[in-house]
Structure 1
């Protein structure tokens, strides 16, 4: 890679780390934030929900817009919005103001995550794409996993506004790298459809709302009503985009068996990770009576081993089938989560660390090959749509995992973490099966799609 490409990759990875950390970091600080703002626990959940709703609802529209006006513009715009919103989060004084700032922050994070893998595809030639996605998988996996640790360390020396304030100088640094270095990418000739974008926002917002309400065991009419809205507007969206050359909800890409199975693998595996990382802090603190800082360090072996495994898996994915690598990794993750669910009543620290490391090895071994399979199975001119599905699958999985943790706690009480970890082992096992099925799937492209690969040597690098 050229020095310019390295600076571009550094900017992408820093912004991705910030956006991913804020998906997980607020969970740990939620009790402290609620107490400081004098908010009820039920109301304070909107600090989390506002961010997730904004991200999931806008990922695909922003990915589609990136295909039209350029991924670089979407990325830089998202980084600016995220940085400004982080500053706003650090100075607000009421819960409604914080929730509004989190919506804006989620919108910026959505713009970053919707096109980051599309930009990586244009920075790396096809034969080295595995290395690029391996680095991206490393940053995403580690950032999400160390969220509780980072939050615990910051809260041990400072108040909760610093969780958001620290994003500001880091966001400025990322912008300084991104502005001169991010590449211009090929653009589609189709027009942006604002009606389809609105239908997409309503569909995914209603879906996430339904998941959250179901987990909180809200009245059945509320859950069914939200799910019905998601279904109706989703069908309207697909009808609206039938025959479109590059639909916002890329249903046509799901006609590719490898793409569809990779997306299913991603949703199930991130649901397993979400089940683990939301339930384990409660287990360590409420059942094992560890402090917040101790809990953060007990969570550390997972991301550390992910950091070691993800780059190795990325390189191997340039030589071996992603279905095989992902299947092996997810089977290991399933075994690791099952072992966590079977922890003795008074486990030694080393006992916990070994099981967490096994989970990290399995997760790290799956993520890079799966990400490469999603990107490589879509046509180059549909990189934005594929990138949007990557981020959407991850967030849907994490949101589903968090919702199932809440449901497990309400059903099983003190045994809720054990039930959640057992469910995570099942999801990881299902993901392993889906990954293995890719070994037998034909690698067809979308009918009529170009077979052209992005020219990473002659692309325009001069910012507009």
Structure 2
């Protein structure tokens, strides 16, 4: 049953008068006119694709970068961790800032910062310089990711919001999946510097188009909570270090200290949010059962996806004896079928319950993951793996767009930035947890790690299906889309 629209009483009172300038005039709940709508969604797609792909391509290039920089493998990990840490600790603060100064301004500023930092990465001559550039690049990516779905809500009218969300979800999922393949393709014909340099022309083009195409929004004048932003950085930073340390054999004492620190700061952080009219961590939105269940579904599903994406190459190459090229090709059906499944599901989400669509999609994903896990020992043909991967892609594609639409539309329009930030945070939390669980499983299970990881992924997908289906019993408050 679809939740009936109503206004959230906890939403900020009045928008800032200055917000109703020319750029904000489009925030009339009717979206952008054509063809401006197409240009705007193209800008959003450009920005989110390069920022998501960049979080994956560095993994493939790490050995090459380490050799070029004469650095150890352990030290080179900071090329990845610096980016991931910067994105995660700044996502919610920047989404909250977007509610106050405008999503368009935060998005374009993030795009500029990301583009300049990409050039800095390409020109870096030492590992510390590259790591610093990656930190700056991560902050720019957070500016893009934090408000991208909020912008989609301004671009599309309510009746077509599912279509816009499906495009955005498809871009995020496909970019996450094809990042390693793109990196391998570039490294086969050029040096590692081009992994970052290629972002520069894309970023410039997106910025130029975005200046005219992206819509403004009505902003509210609640004061920005800088103390909460700092507390947020410590909470998520300590959690990332703890989870990463657990997966990579760090001393349990250090992990315990990091977890205790995150819990203590997190306790006071949440208490502070409960007193804010428009909190940085939208705990007020989490009181809405529909919103909370949708966030839980997102975390579990992205954990399942990352468990699969990290473990499958090991299964294919080490257990099945496939080459790197064969592995890359057989990983492709998952994102490829999403190009079809996500838009169809997005259109359906404008008419059907996200709880039902999500439950069906995640059940299909669960079956696909179990079937992939059972391929070991059966000497499968490439086609046997390909159709199982495609089945997983269909399931994930059916689930994601309706779920994202529900997260966004169950928040008031003036809190779209907070909802967008929570959506991105849920995705990153799931991906971080999934990658850490793979490392932990591989350390505990020596010979059948990939198979165990796939079964664990299936369990997370099954839990996500159950959580998604619980929304059918709820009639939580939803804001007008």
Same fold (TM over 0.5): yes
> What SS does the corresponding residue of 1:281 show, helix, strand or coil?
helix
Q: Does residue 130 in structure 1 map to residue 162 in structure 2?
A: yes
Question: What is the distance in 2 between the residues matched to 1:379 and 1:253?
Answer: 9
Within 5 Å, give how 1:59-98 maps onto structure 2: 59-98=91-130
Alpha-carbon spacing, 1:32–1:414, altered in 2? closer, same or farther (3 Å) = farther
Aligned residue in 2 for 1:370 = 403
Q: CA deviation at 1:159?
A: 2.0
- Per the alignment, residue 99 of structure 1 pairs with 131
> Could you say which residue in structure 1 is the equivalent of 2:21?
none
Which string of whole-angstrom CA distances, capped at 9 and with x for unpartnered residues, describes residues 241-274 of structure 1?
A: 2221110011111100000000000000001111
Secondary structure of 2:277's aligned partner: coil
CA deviations on 1:64-113 (whole Å, 9 max, x unpaired) are: 00100111110000000111111111121222222211111111110100
Corresponding position of 1:237: 269
The Cα shift of 1:153 comes to: 1.2
Q: Count how many residue pairs are aligned between Structure 1 and Structure 2.
A: 448
Cα separation, 2, equivalents of 1:422 and 1:374: 28
Asked if 1:415 corresponds to 2:442, the answer is no
Which sits farther off after the overlay, 45-54 or 300-309?
Answer: 45-54
How many angstroms apart in 1 are the aligned matches of 2:398 and 2:115?
A: 32
Provide the rounded CA distance (Å) in 2 between the counterparts of 1:336 and 1:89.
38
Which residue, 27, 35, 53 being the options, matches 2:67?
Answer: 35
Aligned partner (choices 431, 434, 437) of residue 398 of structure 1: 431
- Aligned in 2, Cα 1:178/1:157: closer, same or farther, shift over 3 Å? same
Matched-pair contact (CA < 8 Å) for 2:303–2:434: yes
Match of 2:8 in 1: none
The residue aligned with 2:389 is 356
User: What are the within-5 Å matches in structure 2 for residues 185-264 of structure 1?
Assistant: 185-264=217-296
1-side partners of 2:330 and 2:62: how far apart? 19
**3-state SS of paired residue (2:259):** helix
Alpha-carbon RMSD across the aligned residues, in angstroms, is: 1.3
Q: CA deviation at 1:308?
A: 1.0
Per-residue CA distance 1:280-324 (angstroms, 9 max, x = gap):
223333333433333221210000011110000000001110000
Structure 2 spans left out of the alignment, 5+ residues: 1-32
* Structure 1 position 171, deviation (Å): 0.8
Q: Give the structure 2 partner of residue 330 of structure 1.
A: 362
Report the Cα distance in structure 2 between the residues aligned to 1:211 and 1:254, rounded to whole angstroms. 24
Residue 457 of structure 1 is matched in structure 2 by: none
1:285 aligns with 2:317: yes
TM-superposed deviation, 1:354: 0.8
Deviates more, 1:268-277 or 1:34-43: 34-43
> Bigger CA drift: 283-292 or 316-325?
283-292
C-alpha distance in 1, partners of 2:309/2:125?
29
**CA deviation map 1:378-421 (0-9, x unaligned):** 11111010000000000000011111111111112342211211
Cα distance between partner residues in 1 of 2:403 and 2:229:
27
Q: Say whether the 8 Å CA contact 2:60–2:183 is kept in structure 1.
A: yes
Give the TM-score, by structure 2 length: 0.91
- Residue of structure 2 aligned with 1:437, choices 442, 452, 470: 470
Assess, with a 3 A threshold, how the Cα gap between structure 1 residues 282 and 89 changes in structure 2: closer, same or farther: farther
Shift of 1:2: 1.5
Match of 2:418? 385
Query: Alignment partner of 2:446: what SS?
Result: helix
Q: 1:420 to 1:110 in 2, by over 3 A?
A: same
SS of the residue corresponding to residue 226 of structure 1 reads helix
Secondary structure, aligned partner of 2:406: helix
1:294 aligned partner:
326
Indicate conservation of the 8 Å contact 1:156/1:293, yes or no.
Answer: no
Task: Report which stretch shifted further, 55-64 or 175-184.
Answer: 175-184
TM-score, with normalisation over the residues of structure 1? 0.94
Cα distance in 2 between the residues matched to 1:146 and 1:419: 24
Correspondence 1:1-80 to 2 at 5 A: 1-80=33-112
Structure 1 segments, 4+ long, off by >4 Å, are: none
Confirm or deny: 8 A CA contact 1:270 1:401 kept in the other structure.
yes
| Separation of aligned partners in 2, 1:44 and 1:171 | 26
Q: Unpaired runs of 5+ in structure 1?
A: 446-450, 455-464
8 Å contact from structure 2 (residues 362, 461) kept in 1: yes
Secondary structure of 1:413's aligned partner: coil
